[in-house]
Chains A and B, each alone.
Chain A
Amino acid sequence: MKIDFTLNGSEISAEAPADMTLLAFLRDILALTGTKEGCAVGECGACSVILDGRLVNSCLVLVGQVNGRDVITIEGIHGPNGKPNDLQQAFIDYGAVQCGYCIPGMILAGEALLATKPNPTRHEIRTAIAGNLCRCTGYQQIVDAIQATAAHRFQGGDNGRA
């Protein structure tokens, strides 16, 4: 079937089998491999993307379902000139990155949270990443990085977006 949607701010138009997942479409058709496949059954959050502002597991979304909608992947999150934005820099600075496989999903979970809740409590941050597993188990540093970014943005800091 023909699929038209907005991906990271650009219009996408492509042919795809109706039963293909959004995850497979992103990785195998568009070659955008920043979105990771972990469990492929909606347990781990490695494939998280933002769909119309909401964090979803792209392994549980069929590509036909995103027709006419807005999708943001990790490739759409960065600062000017391809540099990291403030949240991504905080992940680096706080030592939140280990093997890194969960990180694209974690960054998107953080962005989805901060877009709707600019000044979250630590508990709210933990809830926001509850669907994203980090098997290196570095959760504290991930929460620290999101919390520091929230404080920085809440105080009017530039989020480093292009």
Chain B
Amino acid sequence: MAELRYVGKPATRVDALEKVLGQARYIADYRLPGMIYARALRST
């Protein structure tokens, strides 16, 4: 059987670097021009 290239071998997460540096951008980190905000107003 041919040697497996990926199975059983460790892999580095592709976005780990930007995450450890605090540079990864999550949804709450975006500020767009003209961005509006909304929130749910629930009945009581």
> Which A residues are closer than 8 A to B by beta carbons?
27, 31, 33-37, 73-75, 77-78, 82, 84, 88-89, 91-93, 95, 97-98, 100-101, 103-104, 107
Chain B interface residue number, banded = 10 to 19
Asked if B23 and A34 make an inter-chain contact with CB atoms under 8 angstroms apart, the answer reads: yes
New A-B pairs, 11, CB < 8 Å, besides A33-B26, A78-B21, A98-B13: A34-B22, A35-B22, A84-B17, A84-B20, A84-B21, A92-B12, A92-B17, A95-B13, A97-B20, A101-B26, A103-B20
> Which B residues are closer than 8 A to A by beta carbons?
10, 12-13, 15-17, 19-26, 28-29, 31
Asked if A36 and B26 make an inter-chain contact with CB atoms under 8 angstroms apart, the answer reads: yes
User: What are the residues of chain B within 8 A of A92 when measuring CB–CB?
Assistant: 12-13, 16-17, 20
* Given A31-B31, A33-B29, A37-B28, also A100-B21 (CB < 8 A): no
